[in-house]
Amino acid sequence: MREVQLRDAKSHLSAVVHAAENGEASIITRHGQPAAVILGYEEWKRLSTAPSFARLLMACPVDESDFPERDQTPMREIDL
């Protein structure tokens, strides 16, 4: 991913957008710090529709037998 200063991105916006359309995302920096990312619409659409990790876990078929038995041994006490 290439970095582009904000002032350069402003003056060459069509080139930055063209690169994003061709799969080359750009990090826009302001005063040397990352401020924004420009990526193509198809890549944004792919990323925005990806399920979250929590949704993937919740959709996973799980049975109680998939988990090991819990150790019921009491915790030992530590003298401080």
Model pLDDT, residue 3: 96
Model pLDDT, residue 10: 96
pLDDT in tens, 29-56: 999 999 999 999 999 999 888 888 888 8
pLDDT in tens, 61-76: 888 888 888 888 888 8
Q: Which domains does the chain have, with CATH numbers?
A: 2-57 (3.40.1620.10)
DSSP 25-62: -EEEEETTEEEEEE--HHHHHHHHTSPPHHHHHHHS--
